Every structure is written in structure tokens, then in C-alpha cells.
Structure 1
Amino acid sequence: MPLDPAKLGAALGEPSLALHSSLCRREAASYQQAIRSGEEVIVACTQEKKLFAEVGAQTEGAVSPVHFVNIRETGGWSRDAREAMPKIAALLAAARLPEPDPVPTVTYKSGGRVLIIGRLQDAERAASMVEDVLDVTLFSTGGPGAQERKYPVVSGRIDSLTGWLGAFQFAWTPTNPIDLDLCTRCNACVAVCPEGAIGLDYQIDMDRCKGHRACVKVCEAAGAIDFQREAQAQTETFDLVLDLRETSEFAQHAPPQGYLRWDGRDLPTLLKLRELVGEFEKPKFFVYKQKLCAHSRNEKIGCNACVEICSAAAISSEASRQQIKVNPNLCVGCGACTTVCPTGALTFAYPRASDQGQKLRTLLGSYLQAGGREPTILFHSQEAGQALVEDLGRAARLGQAQGVPANVIPVALWHTASTGADLWLSAVAFGARQVVVLTTGEEAPQYLAGLKAQMAVAQAILSGLGYAGVHFELLQAQSALALDKALQSLRSTRQQGPKEPARFAVAAEKRATLELALDHLVAFAPARPEAIELPPQGSPFGSIAVDKDKCTLCMSCVSACPSSALQDNPQAPQLRFIEKNCVQCGLCAGTCPENAITLKPRLLLTPERREARVLNETKPYGCIRCGKPFGTLKAVEAMLGKLAGHAMFQGAALERLKMCSDCRVIDIYSAQDETKISDVR
């Protein structure tokens, strides 16, 4: 790699920076000396992490924390390598950042009890490869098996399979006279059946069976055949499930952990299954704040974005409790729910948004300070995406590709769906000219749709502010050469950004981060329109339109609004609106009994965005008895119009509707007293 220690040292504030090109071999002593210093050590190579760990374990007095960063495939092995010093400096600077704070974990406990579902012969073959470490039970879907019966076998109709690693609940109903668990496979029933209705799968074809029952008599000792046995549902608990069928038992894109499918050839699947015994932990990837949630009010559904996008079926609606419920055992940590959440009720916790923001600000700030120009952030997954970037670097080293461009800074994420418009716009505010998200075919279809919708909103904002170019791209590549072609095509476009990079810290609250990013982008915007129209799907900003002819100012929408965007006025019959607070959840429109409200996705840029404005108002309606206002003129008139023809509201009863609650009671009792006096007379 054509590294320049002087330039890198100047960019990192380390003028005496020394370059080690054989640190893991001939110069290992320099590494040992560094890890005795007590200061943080950054190793700019990830290939020999195992060797460095071994050297560290053998080094007496080694106390320094060690971090690793890849500068080789991400920049050093590229046709742009000589221009990649600012990017390499940025990667090294980001590697110096402290590790994110630990988050709560989710624990799984597996005793190794596995259910294998499939044709009997295939299930027995799979069982033979894992029986030494796992407790096997087979569910046969048909087909002959081995003569020797080595494992418990059940069959029938699968009713349900739910749960996760260590806690699968399997329900089935036996539907055949032969109990496979009692069957000794002596083949006597097969030989004696005159219709040939019993095969080597040891199940009876009831369409061919004529009722001779010779099989029952010959199986008397084992008692495995009983035509009078009632089909009763059975349930059992398993730690693991291995499914050999072509169709998955789970409809969602991401099945539960502990559920594996095997095609009969992929041995790594069986190796993984063998390892799933013991106690396991994973991060609890999300934080949920019910007070911010716009999912439901008064059992009306508003925002349902997180439920619809979750590929693991981990999020469900609890409309009666005005919230959603996230099952941490099913959650796979994709973060897509946090990306589409307009309020920030769901936030990604591993790492937190503030940690991601600090990393972006460090990367872009160091890159620009080192003389880099027009940086592009390339978000990719830490597994398939990382492997693709590394493959591209190796291809460039061999002259087969151009490699990662000098201005493209790769950033690994737990999952590519875990970032959205708040962090993307922040990146542009920090100095990025483009934000690119790399997908590799492993993502659920709804993730791609969600990312595209978020990009459409973010791009509409920048375009509306007059920033030229396409700032957000979704790249799809499954090979190094495809990625190389896609990255090189980015060179042909130019993007415009703010003249000065922002310095704000990304907040824990999503809406706060969006406001900070927008304030900076607006301050340096080439254009200042009053409002920017936004796409209807996924917009976190907007206004509402109220049909004044329909609206009765019943204030149902005010009680339904989760973000206090809609407010009443205690002093007068008014419906007021603060646009900055609106999240376009639609609860107001769904709650309105008159269908008088329409959503208007947009970003208002005038000061009125933060101020309360009146959407509708009317005269108060005074009680006809005491004169005290108790409703609005339109609401009372609408009520009178609807009830005027009702048999229960005629004469005095109709007049009482024009009274306040106190006068209505007084009038009823007065009428009763007059009736009693009249009766006495």
C-alpha cells in the first residue's frame, strides 16, 4: 500500500507516526511494546487478529485495549490508493473512538432437544449426523425409513409451530392408525395386508384399506395399530427445529433463531445446529417508548409502519393498550422498525443513534481536515456487505477491478436497514455529498421498500432546498465486480451540500436529530421555499387540512393526537395546530367522526412551523336556560339536526339538548315535581 506516514501523522495529530509493514511477523516486538504502554492501540489490519490476540496473550504486562480497522481492502488496495490518505486517516480516527456502552441482553437456553421434520429416510440421515450431541425426535412426513428404529418418531398433521431457540412449541394431531413411536418395524403388517395399503413408511392408506384388520391381529404384541384411536391434539416443547421440507413452517422472511432448514447437502447448517446447545446471549436491539408511539389511540390504528416492515414477525399490535409489543426473542436486530418510526418511539440500541452519529461526524470531519473532497458514505452490513467490500479490495489488488474509490468511506452496520433519514441527513450536514446503502440480496423485500421510501423523503428535502444532485442511492450487488461497477458509476454524478460542515451531536431522540440536521441544511440552502412537498409514504413531517363545513370541533382529533400537534383552546372553541409536532400518523383522520381531516405531507420552512395556528373555530353555544357556553354552535346544531326526528327527543326532551348538563338535570327534576303536584290536585 502506498502509505505516507507524514501525511497520516499530520492528519491524526501524530507527527512522529511510524509505519510498520511487517507488524505481525518481523516487527511483532513493536506491537508488544505498544500494548504494554497502557494507551489504546489501533492496528490497521484485520487479517491477523487471531495472531495478534495470541501475541498479546503471551506478552507480559500487556494492558492496552486493542482495536482493529481495515484500511487495506477499503482504500489501500485500490487504483485510487495514492489519493486515499484522507479516507485512511478518517478510518483510523474513527477506530480511536471508545466502544459503545453495553446494552441489555436477551438470553436463550438450549438443552439440545431437536425436532427434525421431513421424509423419514432424510430425517434419519440428518439425525445420524447430530445424535452424538443432540437429543433427536423425528416428525415423519412420509417415505420409507431404516429397518433399525433408533429415534422417537411421530407423524400426523402439523397444527402449529411457534417459539424460538430453547422454547419451541410444536402441536400436531396423529391422523393414522399406526403409532410410529410404538411400531417396531417388523414388517408383519406390511406382509399380511391383502390390499397392500401399508408401505414401508408404516402408515396406512385409508383409501385402499378394506377393513380386514389382519394388521391389527398380527401387531397384537406391539399394539402399534389401533383403528379406534381418537385423533387427539398433541403438544411438545423443543429447543431446536431442523426442517427438511421445501416450504418453511414460518411465513416471515427471518425465521426464529433455533429454526434451521436443510437441503440435505449444506453441511455448515448441521454444524451450526450442533453448536446450539447451552446458554446464549444477544443484545436487546431496540428501546421502546410508549409515550411517543403513534400506533393507536382509542383503539384506532394510526401508524403501523413498524408492524408492517418487521421481517421476523416480532412486532404485534396492542391497540387496546395504545401501543405495539416487540418480542425481544424473535427480534433479529435489523433496525428497520426504528428507521420507519416517525416519532422515535422505537430506537436502535446497538449501537445507539448517538454513537452512530459520533462515528459519522468523526469520519467526515477527519476526512475533510486531511484534505479529502466530496466524501461518500457507503453503509453496508457487517457480514455479507463487509465480505463484498473485502472481495472488491482483493480483486483490485490483482488488477481485476478498480476497487473502492478514494472518496468512498465504507461504514459497517449491524444491518443496512438500521439507519434512516435522520442519520442520512445528518451525514450530509456533516459534509457528506452522498449516502449510499449497499444491499446484497439477503434483505427482506419490505426493507428495500422502506429504504427507498426514506430516501425519497430525504432527497425531496434536499432537492427542495436547492441542493443539486442525487444524494441518496440504494446499491444492489452480489459480486465484487458488480459492486465495482456500481461504485465507479457514482463518479459521474456531482452533488451539492452545505458550504460548512455541521458540528452538532446526534441526539438520542430521532425528531431532535432531524431538527438539528434541518436547521443546518436550511441555513446554507441555495433555495428557501415556504414549503417542500414530500412523498406520502414514510413522511415524518406534514400538515393537515380541515374541512370547516364538516368539522364540528368535537375535539376527538385532539385527544387522539400522540404528539400534541393538535390542540384545543380552553378560552374559545378553536382547533389549533403546531406543524413541527405532526408525524403524519393519521390517527386524527381515522378518529374524526365527520371525515373532515386530510393529511398533507410537506416540510414547512417558515417560522409558522413552530407556532400554533388556528385550523377551525366557531361561536360557542350558550345554554338556553342559564346562558353558560357548553359546546360549539356547529356541534349542537348538528346534534339537534340528527336527533330531531327521533321519538325519544320530542318536545321538552329536544329542548333539554340545548341546555348545559346542570340545567338539564334541574329541568328534569322540575318537570317531575310539577307532575307530582298535578297528580295531587
Structure 2
Amino acid sequence: MQEYIYYNKQNLDFPLSEKILVTNNMIEYKDSDFIVSNTNLFNAELVADEIDFYIRNSQDTIADKIKNIEKLYDLNESRFDNAQDMTFSQDVEKKVLLICDESWKKEFIKKIVSNEFDLFHINENILKSITGSIGNLNVVVDDEDKDITLNIDQIIWFDMKEEGKKQSGCFDPLETSIDDVLAEVRANIANYEYRKFLSYDKTICQYHERRDETCAKCVEVCPTTTIVKDDENKHLHFSQIDCHGCGGCISVCPSGALDYTPSNRESIYAMSKFFNGHIPLIIPQKMNISSLEVALKENVLPFKIEGEKFLHESTLLTILQESGSQVVFYTDFLSKGTTDSISILNQIYQAKYQKDAILVAMNKEQLVDALEKVDFIDGSKYQLNDMSLRKRENFAIRLSKIVGEYNFGEVQTGPNVHYAKVEVNESNCTLCLSCVGACNVNAIFADAKDNTLRLNPSLCTSCGYCEASCPESDCLTIKRDVIELQPMWFKENILAQDKLFACIECGKEFATTKAVEKIAKIMSPIFANDPIKEKTLYCCETCKPKIMMKSYMANPTNYNNKQGIAI
């Protein structure tokens, strides 16, 4: 497979790299396959229309343009090589449900061929529910007070309500046209393919198999039925066929349990390397830049991303530090998670560099303004040579580089992306380690060497499960929605410490002193008339039965009398 092709319809007046096949003949290469093209006129895995946008608008020298065009091709090839989005197919047959009144039904019938579909028709007022996915939709209708289930492949719903908008295989002709919807429905029957946009690590999910619901942000922001909760078992269920690939769930996932397969964390890391010495201009694929005329000052390098909602504080900081520059984000929409992430980063950069990190432009005028202001930031460049780090770990290491040994105050987080700091009232903590067991991101942990309970605040997701799991009163609390820009935020903080208690019989250390004293305080009044039982409160698990048995063997009659057993 030839890697790169450039369709030279504008007759460039300078040469391109030898790696790039340059042509103005579409016919000659119409059956060839490529990895990256500047146009969809060829069979290419990726279409990078930012290449023509760059050529048309960049103020770089000719020599730099030649190098940067090759870089844009290489960058897109990197995205293709690192992508983990697999393609699947779904059988879609001809069973189509039409939901509308009689007038719209007549208009629709005029547009189709006789027997083209197995067509069912209902009025909206008898519709009760829709479940399933395209090719396997189950529609429950009220038929004279009886529930009837229709098994449908696709639904055409005039003036579609919210329930239909969440389902794959549902189409509203009033949003486009009957002809457009029919074209899509027919194409789906011929060949329906979908991609896997999400990967999931349940081991660090803040919802998975927890007694209490501490997080379900992904479900809240999902515009479809892709992610649903099983509240009984505390499991998340994913329907990849229903996913639009917007990525909104990625940016609000606190731990990084969800990742975006077309451009996952490792892929973003690899692509960010190409921005070394450049000012990144990030543009979602949906943004039409084919006729956009704006001046790209020297060193500005545009790059299109798939999905506009998946960028979060860790991926954005990766791009910022690998480039050593501010970033321009040209988009007409900001997701909840990305909005919070930009706010967090801008607060951090204002505290350290007195400049915003991300310049958001939502129209051409704002883009022009942002491109005039954007620049490199002295001292902000940092290259981290580890692609395997999780979301919070990557962010913590990169942020610690910004903070260094200084104190820049606090950053406020939320309402959709949360950071926090666990605080412990040491006098009430028995080091039972329930909080350690509750934390699945290793923010709270124990050190057996010195019997301490420790916290790395930078890894805390503010889920609150440690607080819910703590059995002591007035012991563990959480300072929510804050990042402290000071060195100890990234280091192990000792929350509580205790000495081990030695068994009074054998000297074996078996529990913390506070734990033993707490249990003894509760049980001593109950065992007040039995000094042997009271003694066992201060013994290890081996010695407890030994001294009880020894006491019994010494005087079984007294023991039986105390137990109320008749002799």
C-alpha cells in the first residue's frame, strides 16, 4: 500500500517530500489504497483536509511548509497506527417501522417502491417503549390495552421524540428530508458497519461493584443508550453499536477507566511529539475548514481530531507540554468534561505563567483573535517518556513539573471533573485500612514498615468511597474540588500512624494499639466478671483459645456453672 497521496488540484508551486505521491489525475489512482490523503477522492484510511488548510493559510517559509506537510502526513499515519477502534458489521433486514400520522404516511409511500420494505405503521400515541439497537429493535405498542412487541430493523419517526434520538436505527425526516432518510435506511440494509469507540478498565472504575453509587458520570452525559447501569450488581453495560463516538464520557471519567479508541492516551502522546517546536491548532473533524481563510502565523500546525468531547486535562496537558506552547481549540461545541478540563488548566497556567493554556475559538472571529494571541510559553516544555501511565498518574507527574518546589495556591475543580484531598482525624483512626480497600486508584495506601496510612492527593478522584467505607465516626473527610499547587500534593502524606500491640501472652504483634484499645473499651464492661475473657482482649488469635482452654481445664465445674449448664 502506498502510504501518502496528495491531490494537486491547486498546482502547488513547490515540491513535496518524496514520500508523498503528488498527482492531479484521479482516474489513474482510483483503485489504489492509501493511508493518508488530503481528499476523499481516493481510497484512504484517513482524510486530512487540514493539509490543504495549512497550505492555503500558513505564513511559514516554503522550506518549512515542505517539512510541515510531511509532518502532517506522518502525524496522521501515527494516529492510524495507534488507533484501537475495530470495525464490526450488523445484519439489517427490511423490517421498517413508520411512526407518523396519515398525512406523512402518504408522503412517505410516494417515495418508495412497492414491497421495498416490510413496512409497519403506527401513530405515536400508541408507542410505549423502544429497546435494542439497529437491526434488532423491540418496539412495544398499546393495541387495545394489550402490549404488543414489534421486532423491527429500523424506525422512521416523523418529529422524533427524545426516546428515539437515543436509539441507533431511528431517523427523523423532518431533520433532513424523506429522501435523505430513505437513502440512509437503504444503505444500512445493504451494509451496516459500526466501530468500537470505547475501551473500559473495570478495575479502576468508580462505579463497578461498589456498595454505594459514587460515580456514574459516563451514563449521565451519554446522549444515547450506549452506556447503561446495572444498579443491582453495580456493573456498566456497553452497546458499542449505539455509540456515536462523541467521547463525552471519556472527559468526565475521573480515573481513566474509559478511553477513546480512535485517539487513546498512548496515541495522543505519540501524536503530541510532532508538535515539538509548533503551536497546536486542534480542530474536530466535523468542523468545515475547506473554505476557511485565516492567517496561520509561523509555526502554527493544525490537526484534526475525531470526536470533539473526549479531550480531558491529562491529554490536553500532554499536548501543551510536549509542544511548549499554548493551544488553540477551534470548535463549535465544548463538552462538560472538556470545559472543566480547560478551566483547570487555564487556572494552573495563569498561576504559573500568567497566561491561559487553552484558547477556545467557537467562530471565525474568535479564531482570528486566538491565532494572533497564541504563542510559545518559556519554561513550559516538558517531555515525559512514558506512554503507559494512567490518566491521573500522567496528569500528576506533568503537573508536578509545573509546580516544582513552589506554592502557587489552589485551583478550583468541578462541577464535572473532580479532584480532592482526603483528611483524617488521627486520634479517631484505628488503621483498620477499610479506606485502603475502598480506593482502587491507590491514592490511599498503607505502609507496613512504619504502620502508617498514607495519601497521594494527586491521584484522588473525589469518589468518596473511602469516606463511605470508614467505620469510625468523625474520622475521614474529603476536601472536595480542589487542587493544591504545592509540592506535598504530589508526595506521600502521612494521614495516621500507630504502634503495633504485642500479645500479653506470647509477645506477637497482631494489631494496632488503637484498635485493641477500642475493642477492649467496648468489651471490658461485658467481660468485667470474667478476668480470663477480659485478658483475651489483649491476646493474639493463637493465644486467645489457649488461655480459654487452660482456664477450663483448670476448673471445668466453675466454667460450666458460669455458662449456666446444669451439673
Shared fold, TM over 0.5: yes
- Offset at 1:588? 1.5
- Offset at 1:94? 2.2
Q: Which residue in the other structure is 1:24 paired with?
A: 24
- Matches of 1:265 and 1:458 in 2, distance apart? 39
| Alignment pair present for 1:381 and 2:284 | yes
- Matches of 1:498 and 1:105 in 2, distance apart? 43
Instruction: Provide, for residues 301-351 of structure 1, a one-character-per-residue CA deviation record: whole Å limited to 9, x for no partner.
Output: 334332333222422345776653322222222222222333332221113
The answer to whether the 8 A contact 2:204-2:257 is kept is: yes
Equivalent of 1:534, from 411, 435, 438?
411
The answer to whether the 8 A contact 1:75-1:88 is kept is: no
Mapping 1:117-136, distance limit 5 Å = 117-130=99-112, 132=114, 133-136=116-119
Instruction: Provide, for residues 481-517 of structure 1, a one-character-per-residue CA deviation record: whole Å limited to 9, x for no partner.
Output: xx22011111453555245855555724434543564
- Offset at 1:130? 3.9
Q: Which residue in the other structure is 2:163 paired with?
A: 249
The CA RMSD measured in Å over matched residues stands at: 4.1
| Alignment pair present for 1:391 and 2:291 | yes
- Matches of 1:75 and 1:578 in 2, distance apart? 44
Unaligned runs of 5+ in 2: 1-9
- Matches of 1:66 and 1:325 in 2, distance apart? 30
Q: Which residue in the other structure is 1:56 paired with?
A: none
Instruction: Provide, for residues 370-412 of structure 1, a one-character-per-residue CA deviation record: whole Å limited to 9, x for no partner.
Output: xxxxx542323213x1x2x22324xxxxxxxx45555543322
Tell me which amino acid in the other structure corresponds to 1:347.
D
- Matches of 1:651 and 1:605 in 2, distance apart? 55
SS of the aligned residue for 1:163 comes to strand
The answer to whether the 8 A contact 2:418-2:462 is kept is: yes
- Matches of 1:249 and 1:419 in 2, distance apart? 27
Tell me which amino acid in the other structure corresponds to 1:453.
D
| Alignment pair present for 1:544 and 2:422 | yes
Q: Which residue in the other structure is 1:140 paired with?
A: 123
| Alignment pair present for 1:74 and 2:56 | no
- Matches of 2:468 and 2:91 in 1, distance apart? 43
Tell me which amino acid in the other structure corresponds to 1:448.
S
Equivalent of 1:413, from 305, 323, 327?
305
Equivalent of 1:452, from 335, 339, 346?
339
- Matches of 2:433 and 2:539 in 1, distance apart? 20
- Offset at 1:432? 5.1
Q: Which residue in the other structure is 1:431 paired with?
A: 323
Instruction: Provide, for residues 616-671 of structure 1, a one-character-per-residue CA deviation record: whole Å limited to 9, x for no partner.
Output: 123445566666554444445545666789xx777549846565555555576656
Tell me which amino acid in the other structure corresponds to 2:118.
D
- Offset at 1:238? 0.8
Tell me which amino acid in the other structure corresponds to 2:242.
L
- Matches of 2:208 and 2:548 in 1, distance apart? 39
Q: Structure 1 residues 66 and 495 mapped into 2: Cα distance closer, same or farther (>3 Å)?
A: closer
Mapping 1:318-337, distance limit 5 Å = 318=230, 324-337=236-249
Mapping 1:152-301, distance limit 5 Å = 156=126, 158-175=127-144, 231-245=145-159, 247-250=161-164, 255-263=166-174, 266-267=177-178, 268-296=180-208, 298-301=210-213
Q: Which residue in the other structure is 1:215 paired with?
A: none
- Matches of 2:548 and 2:174 in 1, distance apart? 79
Q: Structure 1 residues 333 and 265 mapped into 2: Cα distance closer, same or farther (>3 Å)?
A: closer
Q: Which residue in the other structure is 2:6 paired with?
A: none
Q: Which residue in the other structure is 2:353 paired with?
A: 467
- Matches of 1:563 and 1:546 in 2, distance apart? 18
Mapping 1:14-93, distance limit 5 Å = 23-24=23-24, 45-46=38-39, 49-50=40-41, 69-70=48-49, 74-78=53-57, 81=59, 86=64, 89-93=67-71
- Matches of 1:650 and 1:127 in 2, distance apart? 89
- Matches of 1:66 and 1:243 in 2, distance apart? 33
- Offset at 1:258? 0.6
- Matches of 2:110 and 2:97 in 1, distance apart? 13
The answer to whether the 8 A contact 1:297-1:560 is kept is: no
- Offset at 1:413? 1.7
- Offset at 1:85? 6.9
- Offset at 1:257? 1.8
Q: Which residue in the other structure is 1:587 paired with?
A: 465
Q: Which residue in the other structure is 2:560 paired with?
A: 676
Query: RCO (CA 8 Å, sep 6+): is it higher in 1 or 2?
Result: 1
- Offset at 1:575? 1.3
Q: Which residue in the other structure is 2:368 paired with?
A: 488
Task: Give the stretch that moved more between structures: 429-438 or 598-607.
Answer: 598-607
- Matches of 1:631 and 1:552 in 2, distance apart? 9
Q: Which residue in the other structure is 2:455 paired with?
A: 577
- Matches of 1:503 and 1:352 in 2, distance apart? 18
Q: Structure 1 residues 508 and 660 mapped into 2: Cα distance closer, same or farther (>3 Å)?
A: closer
- Offset at 1:243? 1.6
- Matches of 1:508 and 1:569 in 2, distance apart? 25
- Matches of 1:41 and 1:126 in 2, distance apart? 41
Unaligned runs of 5+ in 1: 54-64, 143-155, 176-230, 369-374, 394-401, 442-446, 477-482
The answer to whether the 8 A contact 2:129-2:139 is kept is: yes
Q: Structure 1 residues 666 and 274 mapped into 2: Cα distance closer, same or farther (>3 Å)?
A: same
Normalization by structure 1: what TM-score?
0.68
The answer to whether the 8 A contact 2:280-2:323 is kept is: no
Mapping 1:355-366, distance limit 5 Å = 355-362=267-274, 364-365=275-276
Tell me which amino acid in the other structure corresponds to 1:602.
I
Q: Which residue in the other structure is 1:212 paired with?
A: none
Task: Give the stretch that moved more between structures: 614-623 or 313-322.
Answer: 313-322
SS of the aligned residue for 1:347 comes to strand
- Matches of 2:297 and 2:112 in 1, distance apart? 46
- Offset at 1:234? 1.7
SS of the aligned residue for 2:128 comes to strand
The answer to whether the 8 A contact 1:100-1:351 is kept is: no
- Matches of 2:234 and 2:455 in 1, distance apart? 22
Q: Structure 1 residues 281 and 516 mapped into 2: Cα distance closer, same or farther (>3 Å)?
A: farther
Q: Structure 1 residues 237 and 558 mapped into 2: Cα distance closer, same or farther (>3 Å)?
A: same
- Matches of 2:20 and 2:173 in 1, distance apart? 51
Q: Percent identity?
A: 19
- Matches of 2:433 and 2:50 in 1, distance apart? 59
- Matches of 2:112 and 2:521 in 1, distance apart? 76
- Offset at 1:287? 1.6
Q: Structure 1 residues 509 and 130 mapped into 2: Cα distance closer, same or farther (>3 Å)?
A: farther
SS of the aligned residue for 2:290 comes to helix
- Matches of 1:536 and 1:409 in 2, distance apart? 30
The answer to whether the 8 A contact 2:324-2:379 is kept is: no
SS of the aligned residue for 2:337 comes to helix
Instruction: Provide, for residues 345-370 of structure 1, a one-character-per-residue CA deviation record: whole Å limited to 9, x for no partner.
Output: 222111333333333322x24xx3xx
Mapping 1:555-566, distance limit 5 Å = 555-566=433-444
- Matches of 1:629 and 1:272 in 2, distance apart? 72
Q: Structure 1 residues 84 and 71 mapped into 2: Cα distance closer, same or farther (>3 Å)?
A: farther
Q: Structure 1 residues 233 and 66 mapped into 2: Cα distance closer, same or farther (>3 Å)?
A: closer
- Offset at 1:286? 1.7
- Offset at 1:471? 1.6
- Offset at 1:86? 4.0
Tell me which amino acid in the other structure corresponds to 2:71.
A
Number of matched pairs: 539
Normalization by structure 2: what TM-score?
0.80
Q: Which residue in the other structure is 2:89 paired with?
A: 107
Q: Structure 1 residues 331 and 590 mapped into 2: Cα distance closer, same or farther (>3 Å)?
A: farther
